[in-house]
Amino acid sequence: MIRRLSSVNTAPLMATAVHLLTSVKQPQSFAGTRAAVSWIATRGCSSTSSGSASSTKGAGFSAGQPGRRAPSINCVTLVGVVHDIQTGYVFEDAVTQFTLTTTSLDTAKQAHECVVEKDHHTVRCYGDVFSREVRAKLSEGNVVCVNGRLRLNPQMEPSCNKYYYFPYIQVQPPHGQVSVVYGDRRSPPSAVDAAAGELNNGSATPTSGAAPDESGGASATTQKTS
């Protein structure tokens, strides 16, 4: 029994994911299965090393207190650039899907030149109202902050008659949100006076976001995101 439990970490990803789909009929084992799939998906999609510890903690919490629901151990926060925005339906759920491109620096190699790595993540925003809100405020090239949960999307390959599972980030309030950090990357952001809380648009006297210029129009606008 001990050998079989210790071999869960080395099991193939596809077999574990299939167990996740079939475990719906077994509510008592769903928490442990979700923790195992969360750990494997996190190790496969990112370089964080805390997945195994979090999965073990979540499974222990569920087993020790069966009357209470285990806290979420599957949470992802990414900041990147939006590309390829699409809207549609997954079964009966309205979905806004886009690709989030994140950039990171490779500091593992001791080299004189800087190595930039780019990763592409699929983000799906579920819900009739929420998906419309996300589509209305997103544009191609926006810099956004995405908070959601890792999921596995099964896809059938007809040539070999097998299912393959691809990770994506599911955003559905209250579990996650999409916030626009910066709208237009083609022009640099204006300098901010931290003491006065005002934008400096290049003139001699800093003006606030609501102050009009000489022509009567607003000189600068600010947008708060949550």
For position 117, what pLDDT does the model report? 85
The model's pLDDT over 164-211, given as tens digits with 9 standing for 90+, comes to: 988 999 999 888 999 998 876 666 656 666 566 565 555 444 444 444
What SS3 state is found at 158?
Answer: coil
Query: Which structural domains are found in the chain, ordered by start?
Result: 2-64 (no CATH), 76-182 (2.40.50.140)
How far CA 38 is from CA of 20, 52, 59, 134, 189, in Å, comes to: 10, 9, 11, 26, 37
Q: What does the mean pLDDT of the chain come to? A: 66
- Cα separation, 116 vs 122, whole angstroms: 20
Helix ranges (DSSP H) in 51-127: 51-64
Dihedral (CA of 58, 62, 65, 69) sign: positive
Residue 171, token pair as written in the block: 């955003």
For position 94, what pLDDT does the model report? 93
Give strand ranges (E) for the chain.
Answer: 76-90, 93-105, 116-126, 143-157, 162-171, 177-182, 191-193, 198-200
The share of the chain scoring above pLDDT 90, in percent, equals 28
In terms of residues, how long is the chain? 226
For the segment 137-153, the average pLDDT, to the nearest whole number, is: 92
Residue 49, token pair as written in the block: 């090393």
147 — pLDDT class (breaks 50, 70, 90): very high
The model's pLDDT over 39-93, given as tens digits with 9 standing for 90+, comes to: 444 444 443 334 434 333 444 333 444 555 445 568 899 999 999 999 999 888 9
For position 154, what pLDDT does the model report? 86
Beta bridge partners of residue 131, listed in sequence order: none
Question: Residue 225: which of 177, 171, 186 has the closest Cα?
Answer: 177
User: Any idea what the Cα angle at residue 187 is, between residues 120 and 134, rounded to 5°?
Assistant: 50
